[in-house]
Amino acid sequence: MKLAPIAVSVLALLLLSLPACDKKEAAEGEGHEHQSIVTTSPLVKDMVVTQPFVCQIHSRRHTEIRALQSGYLKPIKLKEGHAVNKGDVLYEINPVLYQARYDAEVAEVNHAELEYKYTKTLADNPAKVVSQNELLLYGTKLARAKAKLGLAKAELDFCTVYAPFDGIVDRQMQQQGSLVKENDILTTLSDNRVLWVYFNVPEARYFEYMAEKDHDEETQRIELVLADGKPFPHPGSINAIEAQFDNKTGNIKFRADFPNPTGLLRHGQTGTVMLHRTMKDAVVVPQRATFEFLDKLYVYVVDQEHTVHQRRVTVRHEIEDIFILGNEIGPDDKIVLEGVREVHDGQKDVHAEFRKPQDALTNVKQHAE
Residue 4 burial (10 A CB sphere; 0-12, 13-18, 19+): exposed
Given a cut of 50, whether residue 3 has pLDDT beyond it is: no
Given a cut of 90, whether residue 40 has pLDDT beyond it is: yes
In tens, the pLDDT along 236-284 reads 999 999 999 999 999 999 999 999 999 999 999 999 999 998 888 899 9
In tens, the pLDDT along 290-324 reads 999 988 999 999 999 999 999 999 998 888 889 99
Q: Which CATH architecture has domain 34-88+191-369?
A: Beta Barrel (2.40)
Phi, psi of 176 (to 5 degrees): -55, 135
Distance CA(251)–CA(95), nearest Å, equals: 52
37: closest CA among 332, 346, 335? 335
Distance CA(224)–CA(233), nearest Å, equals: 8
Q: Quick one: pLDDT band at residue 23, thresholds 50, 70, 90?
A: very low
Q: How high is the pLDDT of residue 31? A: 40
CA 315 to chain CA centroid, Å, is: 23
The partner residues of 14 in beta bridges, in order of sequence, read none
pTM of the model: 0.70
Q: How high is the pLDDT of residue 10? A: 41
Which long-range contacts link 355-359 to residues 24+ away (Cβ below 8 Å)?
A: 355/38, 355/39, 355/40, 356/40, 357/40, 357/41, 357/42, 357/43, 357/284, 357/331, 358/43, 359/40
DSSP 283-347: EEEEGGG-EEETTEEEEEEE-TTS-EEEEEE-EEEEETTEEEE-TTS-TT-EEEEE-GGG--TT-
Average pLDDT of the chain to the nearest whole number: 86
Q: Decide: 271 and 226 in contact? Cβ < 8 Å.
A: yes
In tens, the pLDDT along 138-185 reads 999 999 999 999 999 999 999 999 999 999 999 999 899 999 999 999
Distance CA(313)–CA(296), nearest Å, equals: 8
Element counts in the chain: helices (H) and strands (E)? 6, 20
Q: Decide: 182 and 70 in contact? Cβ < 8 Å.
A: yes
Distance CA(72)–CA(66), nearest Å, equals: 14
- Which sequence spans correspond to the domains of the chain? 34-88+191-369, 89-188
The partner residues of 226 in beta bridges, in order of sequence, read 271
SS3 call for 25? helix
Distance CA(352)–CA(362), nearest Å, equals: 20
Distance CA(158)–CA(255), nearest Å, equals: 36
Q: What is the mean pLDDT of residues 127-139?
A: 86
Say how many CA atoms lie within 13 Å of 224 toward its Cβ: 28
E-strand ranges in the chain read 38-40, 43-66, 71-72, 83-84, 89-92, 160-162, 167-169, 179-180, 185-202, 220-226, 237-241, 251-259, 270-286, 291-293, 296-302, 308-313, 315-319, 322-325, 334-338, 353-354
